[in-house]
């Protein structure tokens, strides 16, 4: 059976973006009729729709759809969540891991929903600082826990491929709300995400 992928794309958006990519490729001096490039504008248009599909999703609704009443009031940590996003300044990728914790206050959320909201916010044109804040505030305002912590570590292709061209630099951003603003709680979280428990 041949390999098949079922994906849905907005036909009008695909057509418009495809034409723009074709123009860009031609402006850079390439021949868009060359065998290797004939389908590139269409592929790029579809790729960009996927990479920015977070605009069409409501992360708060994702959380609300999997909230459960539970009298658990200790720290819940999901660490090493892979993320891939596009820097809004150069539209080049940045990628890394998110580490997220919350302390429930009467409600927990299905564990898969935390990585899903990371994906929703990542699949938009972003800066790492805002991505960290968006995830933090969404969990804080929707789940209303006793506290939330978010740490993101990422490598940025705009620093690695162009500009300063530093290959081994990583950017770390963090945000804390509620109980995690206390030094001892924040330290426990940072120690746990640094340890190799699994």
* Domain locations in the chain as residue ranges: 11-51, 59-194
On the question of pLDDT at 198 being above 60, the answer is no
Q: Residues 99-147: pLDDT tens digits? A: 999 999 999 999 999 999 999 999 999 999 999 999 999 999 999 999 9
Q: ∠ CA(43), CA(160), CA(119), 5° rounding? A: 55
| Residue 137 annotated to the active site | no
In contact, 159 and 128? CB cutoff 8 Å: no
Mean pLDDT, the chain, as a whole number?
93
Q: Residues 31-55: pLDDT tens digits? A: 999 999 999 999 999 999 999 999 9
CATH architecture, range 11-51: Orthogonal Bundle (1.10)
| Arithmetic mean of pLDDT, 68-93 | 96
Q: Say which of 82, 89, 129, 181 is annotated catalytic.
A: 89
Element (H, E) at 77: strand 76-87
Give the C-alpha separation, 189 to 102, whole Å.
Answer: 10
Q: ∠ CA(62), CA(67), CA(69), 5° rounding? A: 175
- Where b means 16+ CB within 10 Å and e means fewer, 47-62 reads ebbebbebeeeebeeb
Q: Which two tokens stand for residue 178?
A: 């509620």
| Residue 90 annotated to the active site | yes
Q: Which of 111, 106, 79, 103 is nearest to 178 (CA)?
A: 103
| Arithmetic mean of pLDDT, 57-68 | 97
Confidence tier at 2 by pLDDT (50, 70, 90): low
| Residue 179 annotated to the active site | no
- Of the chain, the percentage scoring pLDDT greater than 90 comes to 86
Q: Say which of 128, 138, 140, 179 is annotated catalytic.
A: 128
For residue 143, which phi and psi values (nearest 5 degrees)?
A: -80, -25
Give the C-alpha separation, 21 to 114, whole Å.
Answer: 34
Confidence tier at 96 by pLDDT (50, 70, 90): very high
| Residue 128 annotated to the active site | yes
Q: What is the pLDDT of residue 1?
A: 56
pTM across the whole model = 0.91
Q: Say which of 19, 70, 82, 88 is annotated catalytic.
A: 88
On the question of pLDDT at 165 being above 80, the answer is no
On the question of pLDDT at 61 being above 90, the answer is yes
CB atoms near residue 77 (< 10 Å): 15
Report the topology of domain 59-194. GTP Cyclohydrolase I, domain 2 (3.30.1130)
Q: Say which of 18, 49, 87, 179 is annotated catalytic.
A: 87
| Residue 138 annotated to the active site | no
């Amino acid at each position: 059976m041949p390999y098949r992928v079922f994906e849905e794309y907005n036909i009008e958006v695909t057509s418009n973006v495809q034409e723009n990519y074709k123009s860009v490729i031609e402006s850079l001096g390439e021949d868009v009729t060359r065998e290797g490039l004939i389908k590139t504008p269409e592929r790029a248009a579809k790729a960009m729709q996927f990479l920015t599909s977070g605009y069409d999703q409501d992360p708060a609704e994702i959380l609300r759809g999997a909230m459960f009443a539970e009298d658990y009031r200790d720290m819940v940590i999901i660490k090493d969540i892979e993320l891939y996003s596009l820097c809004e300044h150069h539209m080049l990728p940045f990628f890394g891991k998110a580490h997220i914790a919350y302390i429930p206050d009467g409600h927990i959320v299905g564990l898969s929903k935390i990585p899903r909201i990371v994906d929703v916010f990542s699949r938009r044109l972003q800066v790492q600082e805002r991505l960290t804040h968006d995830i933090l505030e969404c969990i804080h305002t929707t789940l209303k826990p006793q506290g939330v912590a978010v740490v993101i570590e990422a490598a940025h292709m705009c620093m690695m491929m162009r500009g300063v061209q530093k290959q081994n630099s990583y950017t770390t951003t963090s945000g804390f709300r509620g109980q995690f603003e206390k030094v001892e709680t924040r330290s426990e979280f940072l120690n746990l995400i640094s340890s190799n428990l699994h």
